Structure 1
Amino acid sequence: MFDILTITAPIFLLIGLGYLSVRGGLLGSEQIRGIGSFVIHFALPALLIHSLATRPVEEILNAGYLLAYGLASLAAFAAGFALARWGRREGLAGAAMSGLGMSASNSGFIGYPVVVMVVGPLAALPMALCMLVESLLMVPLALTLAEAGRPNGGGARRVALEIARRLARNPVLIGILVGLGLSLLELRLPPMLLRPVEMLAQASAPAALFVIGGTLCGLRPAGMLADAGQMALGKLVLHPLAVYVAFALVPGVAPELKIAALLFASAPMFTVYPLLAQQYGLGERCAAALVVTTLLSFFSMSLLLGVLPQLFVSG
Structure 2
Amino acid sequence: MTDILTIILPVFIVLAFGYAAVWGKLFSDDHVDGLMRFTQSFAIPCLLFRAISTLDLGQNFNAPILVSFYTGVVAAFLLGLAAARLLFNRTWEDSVAIAFCCLFSNSLLLGLPITKRAYGPDALLGNYAIIAIHAPFGYMLGITAMELARARGTALHHLPAKVGRAMFSNALVLGITAGLIVNLGQIPLPSVFTEAVDLMTRAALPAALFGLGGVLYRYRPEGDMRTILFVCVVSLIVHPTITYTLGTTANLTTDALRSAVVTASVAPGINAYVFANMYGAAKRVAASSVLIGTALSIITTSAWLTILP
TM exceeding 0.5: yes
Paired residue for 1:262? 261
Between 1:149-158 and 1:44-53, the stretch displaced more is 149-158
State how far apart, in whole Å, the 2-side matches of 1:303 and 1:153 are: 48
Q: Does the residue aligned with 2:150 lie in a helix, a strand or coil?
A: coil
In structure 2, the residue matched to 1:272 is: 271
Distance in 1 between the 2:12 and 2:45 partners? 23
Give the aligned partner of residue 27 of structure 1.
Answer: 27
The reply to whether residue 197 of structure 1 matches residue 197 of structure 2 is yes
Larger CA deviation: 51-60 vs 161-170: 51-60
Are 1:91 and 1:149, in contact at CA under 8 Å, matched by a contact in 2?
A: no
Q: Is the 8 A contact 2:45 2:176 kept in 1?
A: yes
Q: Distance in 2 between matches of 1:260 and 1:49?
A: 19
Amino acid at match of 2:176: I
Task: Give 1:274's aligned amino acid.
Answer: Y
Aligned to 1:84: 84
Change over 3 Å in CA distance of 1:17–1:149 after alignment to 2: same
Whether 2:218 is the aligned partner of 1:218: answer yes
TM-score computed with the length of structure 1 as normaliser:
0.90
Take 1:10 and 1:215, find their aligned partners in 2: how far apart are those partners? 18
Q: Which piece of structure 1 moves more, 202-211 or 117-126?
A: 117-126
Could you tell me how far apart the structure 2 residues matched to 1:124 and 1:274 are? 26
SS at 2:50's partner residue?
helix
1:47 maps to: 47
Structure 1 Cα separation of the partners of residues 269 and 303 of structure 2? 21
Q: Which amino acid aligns with 1:201?
A: T
Q: Distance in 2 between matches of 1:181 and 1:8?
A: 34
Match of 1:301 in 2: 301
Residue 159 of structure 1 aligns with an amino acid whose one-letter code is L
- Cα distance between partner residues in 1 of 2:61 and 2:153: 35
Between 67-76 and 127-136, report the one with greater CA deviation.
Answer: 127-136
* 1:48/1:124 contact within 8 Å kept: no
Structure 2 segments unaligned to the other structure (5+ residues)? none
Stretch of structure 1 that moved more, 150-159 or 233-242: 150-159
Q: Which amino acid aligns with 2:134?
A: E
- The superposition leaves residues 254-283 of structure 1 with CA deviations (integer Å, 9 ceiling, x where unpaired) of 220210111111111121322322324311
Aligned-residue offset at 1:65: 2.1
What's the offset of the Cα at 1:76?
1.5
Q: Aligned residues, how many?
A: 308
Contact 2:124 2:259 in 1 (8 A): no
Shift of 1:123: 5.2
Aligned pairs (5 A) from 1:155-234: 155-234=155-234
Q: TM-score, normalised on structure 2?
A: 0.91
Tell me if structure 2 keeps the 8 A contact 1:126–1:261.
Answer: yes
Cα pair distance change 1:169/1:78, threshold 3 Å? same
Change (3 A) 1:122 1:37: farther
**Structure 1 210/155 Cα, relative in aligned 2: closer, same or farther at 3 Å?**
farther
Q: Residue type of the partner of 2:221?
A: P
Would you say the 8 A contact 1:235–1:269 is kept in 2?
A: yes
Partner secondary structure for residue 218 of structure 2: coil
Residue 196 of structure 1, CA deviation: 1.4
Which amino acid is the alignment partner of residue 167 of structure 2? Answer: L
Aligned equivalents of 2:66, 2:290: Cα separation in 1: 25
Q: Residue type of the partner of 2:84? A: A
Q: Does 1:139 align with 2:139?
A: yes
Write out per-residue CA displacement over residues 141-174 of structure 1, whole angstroms, 9 at most, x where no aligned residue: 2222223223756343343322211221222222
Shift in Å, 1:132? 4.0
Q: 1:272 to 1:280 in 2, by over 3 A?
A: same
Q: Return the alpha-carbon distance in structure 1 between the equivalents of residues 55 and 134 of structure 2.
A: 22
What is the Cα-based RMSD across aligned positions, in Å?
2.1
Paired amino acid for 2:264: A
For 2:300, give the aligned amino acid.
S
